C-alpha cells in the first residue's frame, strides 16, 4: 500500500473541531483507535505484534531477536497537530515492508516496526515518554505520577488503555534486541525546500539540546471590578513578563529558541483576577549551556516581576534532552546509499534522539514544502511521501544485509 493510502485510512481519526487538525494524545481512546488500526495493518502483513512494558508496539517481520533492524515512529500528536508528524513514519514503515516483500526480499536479520507511546508529551508533558521509559532516562515512579490537564495520572490512563503501569521502566531485554534504529519523519522546517533541487528525502545529523519547564505564578484570586491596583497580586503580570522575556533572551544566542505556547490562568474567568497562572517554556539551543542560560534569564525576569506584584514563582524542569549527534557512520552510509541526499540538523525532538544514546540511530526526513509543523497546515507532497517510503525500504534492505 502507498503511504497516501495508509494515511487516508486514518484521516478522520482524532480530528479536533475546535483547534483544527488532530488531537491524538497518548493512552487516550483516539490513540487507541490508531493503535488498533496499526495492529490490523501489521497483522495483514503477517507481522507479529507485541506490546512492551512501556506500551510501545513492536510489529516483527521474522523472529524477534538480537541485532534487529528497527524502524517506526509514533501515532500521537500535539493538540491541534498535523497529519504527518508521527503517522508518516509509521505509514512509511508499513509501505516499506510492502515494497520489500513485493521485491521478494526476505530479511536476514530480525526486522520490526516500533510505535512509541506519547512522543509529543501532549497529554502528560514529557515528550518521548515511551522511548524515555524504555531507555531508563525517565524514572517510572515519576512517570506514573504525571497528570494530564484533567488530573488523570499516567498510571490511570495506561491502565485504561490496557497497559500495566506497574511494569513501566527500563527495558534492557527490548533494547538488547535493537541492532539499529531508523526513523522516518516529515521535516519540521523548510531547509529541504529551500535547497535548489528540493529533495524528497534527507538524512538527519543532529537534534538541538531541548527541554520543558513548568512555571507556576501564584497570586491572590479576587474580583476584577472591586480590587484596586495596590491590593492586586495578579499572577498574569509576571507570566506576561516571562513571555516577553523568552523572546528577548534569544538575542545574540545563535540557534536558540524559547516558546510559551501553553498558558493557563486559574480560574480563568473574565471578571476574575487569576489566583495562579501555569505556563510552560520550551527552550532549545545547539548545546546545553545556552539552553540553561535562556531558562535562567527568563526565570530571572519572571521572578523579578513576581516580586514586584507580590506573587510567588516556582519553576520545575519537566524534561531535558542534551544535543543528539546521530551515529556518524550510519548517517554517512545512508546519505550515500540514497544517492547523496543532504544531511541536515533539526530543532525537533524525536524518539530516535532518545534511542541514539543506546543504539546506532539514524533519521530520514521527507520534504515539508512550507516548513510548518505542529499545526493543521503541516504538509508533505504525496510523491515525496512515497519517495520517503522507497528510501526507507532501500535503507532497511541494506541494513538487513549487514553481517551481525
Instruction: Using CB under 8 A, pick the residue from 261, 328, 339, 382 that binds its own copies.
Output: 261
Asked if 86 and 64 touch (Cβ cutoff 8 Å), the reply is no
Residue partners of 392: CB distance under 8 A and separation at least 6: 71, 92, 93, 96, 182, 184, 364
Shortest Cβ 178–its own copies spacing (Å): 25
**304 is an interface residue for its own copies by CB under 8 A:** no
- How far out from the chain centre does Cα 62 lie? 28
Size, binding site for its own copies by CB under 8 A: 77
Q: Choose among 110, 112, 114, 113: nearest CA to 63.
A: 110
Helices of type H across 45-160: 87-102, 129-135, 140-145, 154-160
Q: Which stretch binds its own copies (CB under 8 A): 58-66, 216-224, 286-294, 355-363?
A: 216-224
Residue 127 engages its own copies in binding (rule: CB under 8 A): yes
**Main-chain dihedrals φ then ψ at residue 172, nearest 5 degrees:** -65, -30
- The interface region with its own copies, picked from 39-47, 51-59, 231-239, 390-398 by CB under 8 A, is 231-239
Q: Which helix (H) or strand (E) holds 349?
A: none
Q: Which is nearer to its own copies, 196 or 228 (CB)?
A: 228
Checking 141-144 for CB contacts under 8 A at 24+ apart, the result is 143/168, 144/168
Instruction: Give dist(CA 55, CA 80) in Å, integer.
Output: 23
> Considering beta carbons, is residue 196 or 229 the nearer one to its own copies?
229
Judged by beta carbon, residue 118 or residue 386, the one nearer its own copies is 118
Kindly tell me which of 212 and 331 has the beta carbon lying closer to its own copies: 212
> What is the C-alpha to C-alpha distance for residues 145 and 318, in angstroms, rounded to an integer?
12
Measure the CA–CA gap between 314 and 267, rounded to whole angstroms.
18
| 342 is an interface residue for its own copies by CB under 8 A | no
The answer to whether residue 79 forms part of the interface with its own copies (CB under 8 A) is yes
Q: Where do the DSSP E strands lie in 13-56?
A: 48-51
> How far apart are the C-alpha atoms of 92 and 182, rounded to whole Å?
12
Query: What is the x/- site pattern for its own copies, positions 343-382, by CB under 8 A?
Result: ---xxxx---------------------xxxxxxx-----
Name residues contacting its own copies, limited to 166-195 (CB under 8 A). Answer: 188-189
Greatest extent of the chain over all pairs of C-alpha atoms, in Å: 78
State which residue, 246 or 387, has the beta carbon closest to its own copies: 246
Near its own copies in 265-294, by CB under 8 A: 265-275, 280, 282, 284
Element (H, E) at 195: none
Characterise 27 by phi-psi region: left (phi > 0), alpha (psi -120 to 50), beta (else): left
> Which range, of 64-72, 102-110, 206-214, 333-341, touches its own copies by CB under 8 A?
206-214
Which residue among 31, 76, 118, 120 contacts its own copies (CB under 8 A)?
A: 120
Cell of 165: 503501569
Contact between 92 and 150 (Cβ < 8 Å): no
User: Cβ 60 to its own copies, closest distance in Å?
Assistant: 31
Taking the complex as a whole, the smallest distance from the CB of residue 10 to its own copies amounts, in Å, to: 19
- Site membership for its own copies, residue 263 (CB under 8 A): yes
Inter-residue contact 26 to 32 (CB < 8 Å): no
Restricting to residues 5-64, name those near its own copies by CB under 8 A.
16-21, 23
Which C-beta is closer to its own copies: that of 177 or that of 282?
Answer: 282
Considering beta carbons, is residue 153 or 266 the nearer one to its own copies? 266
Question: In which region does residue 376 sit, left (phi positive, over 0), alpha (psi from -120 to 50) or beta (all else)?
Answer: alpha
- Pull the grid cell for residue 11: 484521516
159 near its own copies (CB under 8 A): no
Query: Whole-angstrom Cα distance, residue 304 to residue 294?
Result: 16
Q: Is 88 in the site for its own copies (CB under 8 A)?
A: no
Output the smallest distance, CB 204 to its own copies, in A.
Answer: 12
* Interaction between residue 320 and its own copies (CB under 8 A): no
Among the listed ranges 35-43, 53-61, 79-87, 388-396, the one in contact with its own copies (CB under 8 A) is 79-87
- Binder among 212, 303, 331, 367 for its own copies (CB under 8 A): 212
Comparing CB distances to its own copies, the nearer of 231 and 296 is 231
Note whether 121 and 319 are within 8 A (CB).
yes
Closest CB 362 distance from its own copies, rounded Å: 19
Amino acid at each position: 500500500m502507498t503511504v497516501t493510502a495508509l494515511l487516508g485510512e486514518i484521516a478522520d481519526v482524532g480530528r479536533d473541531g475546535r483547534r483544527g487538525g488532530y488531537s491524538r494524545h497518548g493512552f487516550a481512546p483516539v490513540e487507541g483507535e490508531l493503535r488498533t488500526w496499526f495492529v490490523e495493518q501489521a497483522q495483514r502483513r503477517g507481522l507479529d505484534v507485541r506490546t512492551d512494558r512501556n506500551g510501545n508496539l513492536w510489529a516483527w517481520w521474522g523472529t524477534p531477536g538480537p541485532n534487529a533492524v528497527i524502524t517506526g515512529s509514533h501515532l500521537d500528536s500535539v493538540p491541534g497537530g498535523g497529519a504527518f508528524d508521527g503517522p508518516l513514519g509509521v505509514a512509511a514503515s508499513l509501505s516499506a515492508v510492502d515494497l520489500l516483500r513485493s521485491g521478494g526480499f526476505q530479511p536476514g536479520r530480525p526486522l520490526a516496526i516500533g510505535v512509541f507511546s506519547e512522543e509529543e508529551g501532549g497529554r502528560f508533558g514529557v515528550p518521548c515518554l515511551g522511548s524515555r521509559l524504555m531507555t531508563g532516562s525517565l524514572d517510572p515512579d515519576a512517570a506514573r505520577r504525571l497528570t494530564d490537564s484533567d488530573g488523570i495520572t499516567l498510571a490511570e490512563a495506561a491502565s485504561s488503555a490496557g497497559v500495566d503501569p506497574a511494569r513501566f521502566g527500563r527495558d534492557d531485554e527490548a533494547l538488547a534486541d535493537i541492532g539499529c534504529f531508523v526513523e522516518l519523519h516529515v521535516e519540521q522546517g523548510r531547509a529541504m525546500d529551500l535547497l535548489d533541487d528540493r529533495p524528497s528525502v534527507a538524512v538527519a545529523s543532529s537534534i538541538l539540546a531541548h527541554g520543558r519547564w513548568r512555571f507556576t505564578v501564584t497570586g491572590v484570586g479576587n474580583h476584577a471590578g472591586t480590587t484596586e491596583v495596590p491590593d492586586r497580586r495578579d499572577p498574569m503580570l509576571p507570566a506576561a513578563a516571562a513571555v516577553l522575556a523568552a523572546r528577548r533572551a534569544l538575542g545574540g544566542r545563535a540557534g536558540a529558541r524559547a516558546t510559551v505556547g501553553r498558558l493557563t490562568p486559574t480560574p480563568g474567568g473574565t471578571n476574575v483576577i487569576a489566583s495562579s497562572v501555569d505556563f510552560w517554556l520550551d527552550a532549545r539551543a545547539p548545546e546545553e549551556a545556552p539552553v540553561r542560560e535562556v531558562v535562567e534569564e527568563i526565570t530571572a525576569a519572571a521572578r523579578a516581576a513576581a516580586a514586584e506584584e507580590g506573587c510567588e514563582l516556582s519553576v520545575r524542569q519537566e524534561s531535558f534532552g542534551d544535543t543528539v549527534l546521530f551515529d556518524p557512520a550510519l548517517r554517512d552510509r545512508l546519505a550515500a546509499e540514497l544517492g547523496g541526499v543532504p544531511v541536515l540538523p533539526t530543532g525537533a525532538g524525536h524518539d530516535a534522539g532518545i534511542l541514539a544514546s543506546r543504539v546506532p540511530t539514524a533519521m530520514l526526513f521527507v520534504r515539508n514544502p512550507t516548513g510548518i509543523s505542529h499545526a493543521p497546515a503541516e504538509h508533505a507532497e504525496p510523491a515525496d511521501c512515497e519517495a520517503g517510503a522507497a528510501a526507507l525500504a532501500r535503507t532497511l534492505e541494506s541494513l538487513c544485509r549487514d553481517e551481525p
